[in-house]
């Protein structure tokens, strides 16, 4: 007997400046995961995994049991106290790897959601989300990847997660510039300080509140102020060549500001819809002038999150 399910998961941008490790948004780039499970006739074949990968940078993705989508798939079965079944996984990639656009979150969410469906959905969406957060380590990417839109996540007193959707005004357009070099999340975290001043904490609290209202209303002065940050971006800028030059070019072209998408090195701006393509062109040309190849994309917020097909 063969059971198959296809899960498509949007890439994400996280932090958005002051929303470090708690705020993220789903973008209109998707990875697709197709899981086919069958009952093996031979005992030695049970629990086997076969993986095929297509799409961008497909040759760089592992196809053994170290694959992140399979790791999440197997962790799900461990979580419910069962051995993982034999599975064939077909992966198609649109989200570039190690660029700050949530590629690892798509694999984790895809693996957990696919396993839950094939196991006849023993976990609720809330439980699936909690498991995905535990596997990723923080909620800012996996939550919007799972449910779509822009989401703010915070833990309750009892340790459960509260997720608050953040309305995103249709005139506010995300533009990403994806360079041809990578930056690992581990490296990006190593440069962060262990402690912060009270002034920096207050600064980020104020600007996160302003960002949430700016995204909802599309208010340009609020958004121009709100994208500032003192928690992660000042320390990570040095890991991204041309950051300040690109920031100046994007703002001159009409962007409200520039942020590091996730841990980077992708840089993202927010702008009014009328300026979005101009901003994208300016970012791409600026990096090209510094000898850095990049791809600038005018995207939108994906409202759906995970899409499942049997």
The secondary structure of 187-219 as a DSSP string is: HHHHTS-S---HHHHHHHHHHHHHHHHHHHH--
Contact 150, 144 (CB under 8 A): yes
Q: How many CB atoms lie within 10 A of CB 84?
A: 21
Same domain? For 159 and 59 the reply is yes
Q: Specify the DSSP class assigned to residue 301.
A: B
pLDDT band of residue 207 (cuts 50, 70, 90) is very high
Task: Tell me the residue range of the domain where 53 lies.
Answer: 2-166+302-309
**pTM of the predicted model as reported, rounded to 2 decimal places:** 0.94
Residue 183 pLDDT grade (very low, low, confident, very high; cuts 50, 70, 90): confident
| CATH code, domain carrying 234 | 3.30.70.890
Which pLDDT tens digit goes with each residue over 82-138?
999 999 999 999 999 999 999 999 999 999 999 999 999 999 999 999 999 999 999
CA 233 to chain centre: 17
If asked whether residues 200 and 74 sit together in one domain, one would say no
Residue range 217-241: mean pLDDT, rounded = 96
Indicate whether 41 pLDDT > 50: no
- Same domain? For 44 and 92 the reply is yes
Q: Are residue 220 and residue 99 in the same domain, yes or no?
A: no
The pLDDT tens digits of the residues spanning 158-169 come to 989 999 999 999
Q: How many CB atoms lie within 10 A of CB 199?
A: 9
Domain count, the chain: 2
The rounded distance, in Å, linking the Cα atoms of 24 and 15 is 6
Q: Is the dihedral of CA 177, 183, 184, 190 positive or negative?
A: negative
Residues 12 and 152 in one domain: yes
Closest CA to 271 of 140, 176, 167: 176
pLDDT at position 223 is 98
């Amino acid at each position: 007997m063969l059971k198959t399910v296809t899960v498509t998961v949007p890439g994400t941008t996280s932090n958005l400046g002051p929303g470090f490790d708690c705020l993220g948004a789903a973008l209109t780039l998707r990875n697709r995961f197709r899981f086919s499970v069958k009952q093996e006739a031979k005992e030695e074949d049970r629990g086997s995994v076969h993986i095929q990968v297509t799409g961008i940078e497909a040759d760089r993705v592992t196809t053994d049991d170290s694959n992140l989508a399979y790791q999440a798939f197997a962790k799900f079965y461990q979580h419910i106290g069962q051995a993982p079944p034999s599975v064939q996984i077909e992966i198609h990639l649109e989200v570039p790897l190690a660029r700050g656009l949530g590629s690892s979150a798509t694999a984790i969410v895809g693996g957990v959601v696919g396993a839950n469906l094939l196991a006849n959905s023993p976990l609720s969406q809330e439980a699936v989300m909690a498991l995905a957060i535990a596997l990723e380590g923080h909620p800012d990417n996996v939550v919007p990847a799972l449910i779509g839109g822009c989401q703010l996540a915070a833990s309750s007193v009892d340790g459960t997660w509260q997720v608050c959707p953040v309305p995103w005004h249709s005139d506010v357009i995300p533009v990403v510039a994806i360079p041809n070099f990578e930056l690992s999340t581990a490296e990006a975290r190593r440069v962060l300080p262990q402690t912060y001043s009270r002034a920096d904490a207050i600064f980020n609290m104020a600007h996160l509140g302003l960002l949430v209202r700016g995204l909802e209303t599309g208010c340009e002065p609020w958004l121009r102020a709100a994208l500032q940050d003192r928690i992660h971006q000042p320390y990570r800028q040095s890991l991204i060549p041309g950051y300040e030059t690109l920031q100046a070019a994007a703002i001159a072209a009409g962007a409200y500001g520039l942020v590091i998408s996730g841990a980077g090195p992708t840089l993202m701006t927010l702008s009014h819809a009328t300026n979005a393509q101009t901003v994208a062109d300016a970012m791409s040309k600026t990096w090209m002038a510094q000898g850095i190849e990049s791809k600038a994309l005018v995207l939108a917020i994906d409202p759906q999150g995970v899409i499942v097909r049997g």
